């Protein structure tokens, strides 16, 4: 079925194959669940405010983009500056060269999803999650692994007041865990960006801060209670750009209460939950609230 909702109110779609979807207008209280997407879904949230438009338990496998197509297989645009109320939950994004979730609207929640097998293919730039113009986005409890991209979460053109928490980014063929440019006041907390050997001859688990040429450098980013490989901020002033505390990092990072070293995980790898700290690991009970650093 191809879906065209402009708008739809109080509708639930469950257990279908969805070849494409376009959702716009004042759509609200709309759920698409337990369905298989074979094409791109687009949400124009310009007129949506706390709309409760939910994608839950779906699969978005092997979906490609094109020069005239939307970049994301789930592409959410139309930022009005008000919380859209669009939720992407408990879904699987795998294979293909389109972005997983393209977050270009305000107040999107992306939680409990799995991203794997996505692949950069010239001339397209592929990201599991890309923020482009969205603000106050929550990215929580997702699992990224076996990726062939430049970063698991990409924000190259600025953002503000976003929250990234409780995510696992496992080693893969990518350069950075997060590329997080021109940020203003976002929070990155209680994630596990696992150490290992990654693509482009880079170590894994790095948060890449900075800015594109000619763009403002980010400021006020809070990085707290994470397991990570390190923080890259070439030529920047760390005191202005970010505050990093209570992290466990392979590389030494500036800030109070950070621990330099490697964790021991419950393991073995293969599921998000297996990246919790094992008993006796560095970082156990060392987070800011007395819990374990990394995911809980």
The H or E element containing residue 169 is strand 168-169
Question: Is the model's pLDDT at 286 over the cut of 90?
Answer: yes
Q: Is residue 7 part of a domain?
A: yes
Whether residue 155 is found in the same domain as residue 277: yes
Q: Is residue 230 part of a domain?
A: yes
pLDDT in the model for residue 132:
93
Domain boundary among 131, 152, 170: 131
Whether residue 294 is found in the same domain as residue 151: yes
- Give 270's pLDDT tier (boundaries 50, 70, 90): confident
Whether residue 86 is found in the same domain as residue 228: no
With contact defined as beta carbons under 8 Å apart, do 25 and 6 qualify? Answer: yes
Question: Is the model's pLDDT at 269 over the cut of 90?
Answer: no
What is the pTM for the complete model shown? 0.96
Whether residue 163 is found in the same domain as residue 209: yes
Whether residue 51 is found in the same domain as residue 164: no
Question: Is the model's pLDDT at 186 over the cut of 90?
Answer: yes
Under 8 Å CB-to-CB from 11, ≥6 apart: which residues? Answer: 5, 29, 30, 31
Distance CA 267, CA 279 (A): 12
pLDDT in the model for residue 61:
98
- Give 235's pLDDT tier (boundaries 50, 70, 90): confident
Whether residue 151 is found in the same domain as residue 296: yes
Q: Is residue 192 part of a domain?
A: yes
Q: Is residue 136 part of a domain?
A: no
Whether residue 76 is found in the same domain as residue 219: no
The domain in which residue 14 lies consists of 1-131
Q: Is residue 145 part of a domain?
A: yes
- At 177, list the tokens: 């865990």
Whether residue 166 is found in the same domain as residue 241: yes
Domain boundary among 108, 131, 154: 131
Give the model confidence (pLDDT) of 161-183 as tens digits: 999 999 999 988 877 999 999 99
CB atoms < 10 A from the CB of 215, how many?
13
Give the model confidence (pLDDT) of 21-72 as tens digits: 999 999 999 999 999 999 999 999 999 999 999 999 999 999 999 989 999 9
Q: Is residue 146 part of a domain?
A: yes
Q: Is residue 165 part of a domain?
A: yes
Q: Count structural domains, the chain.
A: 2
Whether residue 155 is found in the same domain as residue 296: yes
pLDDT in the model for residue 250:
95
- Give 202's pLDDT tier (boundaries 50, 70, 90): confident
With contact defined as beta carbons under 8 Å apart, do 234 and 255 qualify? Answer: no
Q: What is the mean pLDDT of residues 193-210?
A: 86
Domain boundary among 102, 131, 160: 131
Whether residue 122 is found in the same domain as residue 170: no
Whether residue 233 is found in the same domain as residue 99: no
pLDDT in the model for residue 205:
93
- At 75, list the tokens: 């592409």
Whether residue 92 is found in the same domain as residue 15: yes
Q: Is residue 92 part of a domain?
A: yes
DSSP calls for 31-65: EEES-EE-S-EEEE-TT-SS--EEEES-EEES---
Q: What is the mean pLDDT of residues 116-135?
A: 92
pLDDT in the model for residue 121:
85
Q: What is the mean pLDDT of residues 71-85?
A: 94
């Amino acid at each position: 079925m191809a879906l065209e909702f402009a708008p739809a109110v109080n509708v639930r779609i469950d257990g279908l194959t969805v070849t494409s979807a376009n959702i716009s207008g004042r759509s609200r209280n709309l759920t698409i669940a337990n369905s298989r997407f074979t094409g791109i879904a687009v949400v124009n949230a310009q007129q949506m405010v706390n709309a409760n438009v939910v994608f839950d338990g779906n699969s978005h496998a092997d979906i490609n983009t094109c020069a005239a197509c939307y970049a994301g297989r789930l592409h959410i645009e139309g930022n009005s500056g008000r919380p859209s109320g669009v939720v992407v939950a408990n879904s699987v994004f795998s294979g293909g060269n389109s972005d997983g979730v393209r977050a270009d609207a305000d107040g999107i929640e992306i939680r409990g999803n799995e991203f794997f097998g996505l692949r950069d293919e010239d001339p397209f730039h592929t990201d599991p999650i890309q923020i482009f113009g969205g603000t106050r986005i929550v990215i929580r409890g997702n699992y990224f692994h076996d990726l062939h991209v430049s970063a698991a979460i990409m924000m190259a053109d600025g953002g503000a007041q976003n929250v990234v928490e409780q995510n696992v980014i496992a080693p893969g063929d990518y350069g950075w865990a997060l590329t997080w440019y021109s940020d203003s006041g976002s929070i990155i907390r209680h994630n596990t960006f696992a150490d290992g050997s990654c693509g482009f001859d880079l170590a894994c688990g790095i948060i890449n801060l900075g800015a594109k040429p000619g763009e403002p450098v980010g400021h006020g980013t809070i990085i707290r209670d994470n397991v990570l490989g390190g923080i890259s901020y070439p030529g920047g002033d760390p005191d202005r750009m970010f505050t990093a505390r209570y992290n466990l990092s392979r590389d030494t990072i500036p800030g109070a209460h950070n621990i330099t070293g490697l964790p021991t995980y419950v393991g073995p790898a293969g599921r998000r939950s297996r990246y919790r700290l094992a008993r006796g690991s560095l970082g156990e009970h060392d987070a800011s609230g007395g819990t374990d650093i990394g995911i809980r």
